Structure 1
Amino acid sequence: MRIISAIVLGLAVLLITYFGGLPFRLMSAVMAGAIFYEWCAMRSERSLNMYTGLGAALLAVIMVLMVFGQPATILFLGLAAALLLLALHGWASGTGFGLVAGLAYATAPTLALVHLRADDRSGLFAILFLFAVVWTTDIMAYFTGRTLGGAKLAPSISPGKTWSGALGGTVFAVLAGGAFALHESAAHGAVLIALIALILAIVSQVGDLFESALKRRNGVKDSSNLIPGHGGVMDRVDGLMAAALVLYLVAALLGGAESPAHALFRI
């Protein structure tokens, strides 16, 4: 079941990513909703109280605006306002700021992912670059760690991860990302593309460790059981979402918030 789920899910994601546009935005919105649900579930906040309901409503509004193609600037400003509103409610009611973090965790990387993809081939190449780096990091960290073993990376958080795995995954990710610089559409040379790949490889592993720490703190093995044989959505996209946000920020600094992918690949 685990292998079948992985193949079906992977093919579906790649197909939707290829088409982009509305299908990609809808997929991203569903993913954000699942992540927010899992965040609430892990923190035992699934009961529909005013605080949780407000967070879900704010998420829904932002996702609807995103699906209908609103500009990145409007969406990120809307997210900032939503986080402020949720924080004020959490402070006034004494319920804390857990859902503020959950809304940010589910929404900011999703907005980044959608605006990286946009509706053109530059966006497609940017997302494929992101996938290549993150997936290579994950796969090669596992196999390198299993082969070489050695000192544990973070034994109190994720006992199975090793320094050899982390370094191996990073090296192979840099090679995978650097290969994109060979394409004629690359807006920068191999050194900068490889440097971005290096940053993303590190960030994706930090994102993975963050989610592991969150699960350990809340006493759960998986974020949910939404994906048969794989646990939850957060379990599958923790590193990807962290890396997507960082790639968006880097590309936006290089080429603007509305068309960040054009700063990386010009097609």
Structure 2
Amino acid sequence: MSKLLVRTISGIILASIAISAVLFLDKNIFKFFIAVLSAVAVWETANLLTKKFEKINPISTAIIGFLASLSILFFNFYLAVLTIFLYGFYEAVKKWDINYLTSIVFSLIYGSFFVSSLGLLVDEDKYLLLILFATVWAGDTFAYFVGKTFGKNKLAPRLSPKKTLEGAFGSILGSLIAGGITAYYFNHLEAIVPTAIASIVMQIGDLFESFLKRQVGVKDSSNLIPGHGGILDRIDALMFASIVFLTFYNFL
């Protein structure tokens, strides 16, 4: 089976699960699963950083990430911050190395805070998540096919050698088309604004994770998803785009 076919099948299954969860799960159950997803994202991030800081414990860090995400989604934002810094301090003092403090805090903020924004967005309106999904997924799809067909100029060769400017423009176009249509369908025309901003910011989210992987010398964040790599490889752009949507609606 070709890699593209495996990637396509995995993508369809994941998309079906995500859409079904948004449409049919109780809001609190959905947010609980977002906390689980946050824990996996924290685990992948911490596991990557063990390549440079081998004494980081990805499992215990993921547990703290789960608790921090639950706090963000159900209790208090500042309790999550306190939990993260207390755990980071505890681990750093044992190693007597400030690098462990910064690495652990980074893992927890990147994994739990960014992913938890998906759960906070459902509090605004669950259909906003479907607009977000359409924006990001169409952007990813257009980037792949436009870049593969027309790509000549490298976007950021040091970070991601295969990404091209043409692919990035294709991604933005795909996001605007799919996000705009979905926003119109769900009667959220104002969502065209965060869709347009997210279509650009999500490019940075993708490169951000690429930078992290290049720093530790790995290709994928894990091998959890056939054809895609890890959870972070699948949602890196989504995490940044979600923050854009959440910020826009909080501002409104």
Amino acid paired to 2:184: L
Paired residues of 1:38 and 1:223 also in contact (CA < 8 A): yes
**More helix by percentage:** 2
Note if contact 1:116-1:127 (Cα within 8 Å) is conserved in structure 2. yes
Match of 2:3 in 1: none
For residues 195 and 231 of structure 1, the distance between their equivalents in structure 2, rounded to whole angstroms, comes to 31
2:17 to 9, 12, 18: 12
Tell me the distance in 2 between the aligned counterparts of 1:156 and 1:50: 27
2:97 corresponds to 1:94: yes
Seen in structure 2, the aligned counterparts of structure 1 residues 104 and 28 have a Cα distance that, compared at 3 Å, is same
Provide the C-alpha distance between the structure 1 equivalents of 2:155 and 2:53, rounded to a whole number of angstroms: 36
Q: Which residue of 2 aligns with 1:105?
A: 110
Matched, 1:38 2:44: yes
Q: Which amino acid in structure 2 is aligned with residue 123 of structure 1?
A: D
Amino acid at match of 1:249: T
Q: Would you say how many aligned residue pairs link Structure 1 and Structure 2?
A: 242
Q: Tell me the distance in 2 between the aligned counterparts of 1:247 and 1:197.
A: 8
Structure 2 residue identity aligned to 1:113? L
* Distance change (3 Å), C-alpha of 1:149 and 1:110: closer
Distance 1:187 1:39, change over 3 A: same
Structure 1 residues without counterparts, runs of 5 or longer: 255-267
What is the aligned counterpart of 1:61 among 53, 57, 67?
67
Structure 1: distance between partners of 2:92 and 2:17: 41
Residue 234 of structure 1 aligns to a residue in which SS? helix
Which secondary structure does the structure 1 equivalent of 2:141 belong to? Answer: helix
Equivalent position of 2:74 in the other structure: 70
* C-alpha contact (below 8 Å) 2:38/2:116 kept by paired residues: no
Structure 2, unmatched stretches of 5+, are 1-5
SS in 2 for 1:79: helix
CA RMSD of aligned residues (A): 2.6
Kept in 2: contact 1:51–1:89 (CA 8 A)? no
Query: What residue in structure 2 maps to residue 25 of structure 1?
Result: 31
**Aligned-pair identity (%):** 33
* SS, match of residue 170 in structure 2: helix
Corresponding position of 1:258: none
SS in 1 for 2:125: helix
SS class of match (1:161): strand
TM-score, normalised with respect to structure 2: 0.85
